Amino acid sequence: MSGLIILDRDGVINQDSDAYIKSAEEFVLLPNTVQAIVALKRAGYTVAVATNQSGLARGLYDANTLHLMHHKLQTALAAQGQQIDWMMYSPHLHKTVCRKPNTGMYLSIAWRFGLSSLMNVPVVGDSWRDLEAAMAVGARPILVKTGKGLLTLSKHSAEIEQHQIPVVDDLLAAVRLLGVAV
């Protein structure tokens, strides 16, 4: 089993906050995150992260702080001999081509890995905008209940049912849904 998988960050990989994650200390991995990503990597997946980070434009943290957060994740994975293959973020506050629900980050990830299509590529997210962007590029959205997932489920249950979007407890459950041994 192999291929590309795209993960949202806040609420999927790490704890989310309505007040934004503004420091490496506030960047706290959700339970089973490392186990889930290690399982994906061992199964041959290329793991990319696509995350809106409007806190940059809001002046809540700077690019160096964002990189420290991502370094914290990469360090936890490196302890298991793995890493995220590519991390992409949109620093913008207002709608831009790269800010989800627009598809720019997903299309850039496809280009980065030489893919002409994201058809059926799993995209794991906790917000409706993650799922919208995934559907817009033909990817396979999966909703996790962590982060804002339960709120997304309650606000968009009809659309989630209509599009037959799988809903799982967390990233580890999404990995299992894909048939990856954990």
- pLDDT confidence of 179, banded at 50, 70, 90? very high
Query: What pLDDT digit, counting tens, does each position of 6-41 carry?
Result: 999 999 999 999 999 999 999 999 999 999 999 999
Please identify which of the residues 10, 16, 126, 130 carries the catalytic annotation: 10
Residue 64 clears pLDDT 90, i.e. is over it: yes
The whole-chain average pLDDT of the chain stands at 96
CATH (domain of 151) = 3.40.50.1000
Give the domain extent around 156. Answer: 3-177
In DSSP terms, 6 is beta-bridged to: 48, 123
Residue 62 annotated as catalytic: no
Number of domains in the chain: 1
Dist. CA 127–CA 142, nearest whole Å: 10
Report field, pTM of the whole predicted structure over 0.85: yes
Residue 48 clears pLDDT 60, i.e. is over it: yes
Describe the strand order of the beta sheet including 86-90 as a list of residue ranges. 86-90, 45-52, 3-7, 122-125, 140-144, 167-168
Please identify which of the residues 8, 16, 130, 170 carries the catalytic annotation: 8
At 2 the pLDDT is 66
Query: What pLDDT digit, counting tens, does each position of 134-166 carry?
Result: 999 999 999 999 999 999 999 999 999 999 999
182 in any annotated domain: no
Residue 85 clears pLDDT 80, i.e. is over it: yes
Residue 8 annotated as catalytic: yes
86 in any annotated domain: yes
45 in any annotated domain: yes
104 in any annotated domain: yes
At 1 the pLDDT is 47
Dist. CA 66–CA 82, nearest whole Å: 20
- pLDDT confidence of 97, banded at 50, 70, 90? confident
* Cβ 152 vs Cβ 144: under 8 Å: no
Task: State yes or no: cis peptide before 101, omega within 30 of 0.
Answer: yes
